[in-house]
Amino acid sequence: MTRELKIGLLTVLSLVVAIWGYTFLKGKNLLSSDTQIKTTFGDVTGLEVSSPVLVNGYKIGSVTSIKMNHENVKLMDVFFLVNNDFKIPKNAIVNLKSTGIIDGKGLFISFDKPCSGADCVESGDVLEGRVVGFIEGMIGDKEIEEYSSDLTKSAKELFKTLGKEGEEGAIHATVRNIEHTSLNANKLTEQVNTILLQNSTDLRKIMGNMNSLTSALAKSNQNIESMIANLNKVTTDLAQSNLKETVEKTNATLGGSKIAVDELTKTLTNANTTLNELNQVLAKASSGNGTIAKLLNDKNLYTNIELTTRNLNFLLQDLRLNPKRYAHFSLFGKKQKEFTTPENDPLNQKIEEK
């Protein structure tokens, strides 16, 4: 045998082994004549090619392909192979359910009695498919019924004693509190109804007033619209006017007024300070023991000063009217005439008035 022939045979053998391994991984054994069966499901979530086919928990085959039903697109056709050593009756049901909590799903074939002859499934036959829920698949139909009946009985017993006086536990206390709350709510509702009945007349009056108010508002709708239109016009005029420049001028005027007010405040403060100092000086002058205080408080001094001033006025007047009385001289030694008081001498008049 030549080398090339050996290489060719090895290649063919490798391809056959690869094809057989691929089909075997997909659940189909080329070396065995298994029975191919078809079933249909509405939902095949979790089911995959090579998923197991089991009877009473024992694997007898695997899923080979999953295709869409040509007649109804809402159904899926599932094809699987079953070992010929296991005879499956034609009335068997294929249940699609979970194989475990972590694992995926598989096909569980269930039937009541074995078959023989024409009653057994042949390749190409179609079996009825049924999707089983997670809880039903994990527990079973009978267990679910038993558990549900026990749960119903327990629930009935629980509801009979729920919130009963003397029962301990947070749930019973909560139910009793809810019952008391509902009773209080009923009483409150009755009181509210009583109040509403007693004040029904007032409520009618209030509703009548509200109707009158709404009617008045409806009648005044035109006036309100006119007011809104005027307001819109005013806002439009304000927006169109040079409001910014006016505001700037106003701010400038207010700034100058503020400066003038500040200066006036300073001036008033200084004047107030001066008046305070003057008041202090006058207070010291009127109440102290100094010269000014004595001058201000001595009435005799005032009288003397007034008298002195009057005499001085008389003296000056007399000096003006009669200068010869006070200054007399002669170049030739002529004797001055003796002074005689005039009849209209002011001093005499003042003395007479006094």
pLDDT, one tens digit per residue, over 161-198 is 665 666 666 776 777 778 778 888 888 888 888 887 87
pLDDT at 354: 47
Q: pTM score, two decimals?
A: 0.37
Bridge-partner residues for 35, per DSSP? 82
Give 199-235 pLDDT, tens digit per residue.
878 778 888 888 888 887 777 777 788 888 888 887 7
44: confidence class by pLDDT, cuts 50, 70, 90: very high
- Please say if the pLDDT value at position 351 is more than 60: no
pLDDT at 239: 67
Q: What letter would DSSP give residue 40?
A: E
Per the document, the length of the chain is 354
Crossing angle of helices 200-219 and 221-240, in 10° steps, is: 50
pLDDT at 183: 83
Backbone angles phi, psi at 52, to 5 degrees: -75, 150
In the chain, the largest separation of any two C-alpha atoms, in whole Å, equals: 204
69: confidence class by pLDDT, cuts 50, 70, 90: very high
Instruction: Measure Cα distances from 270 to 108, 202, 259, 263 in Å.
Output: 112, 69, 17, 11
Average pLDDT over residues 120-125: 90
Q: Which one-letter amino acid corresponds to residue 47?
A: L
Query: CB count, 10 Å around CB of 130?
Result: 15
Residues 138 and 220: their CA atoms lie apart, in Å, by: 76
Average pLDDT, the chain: 77
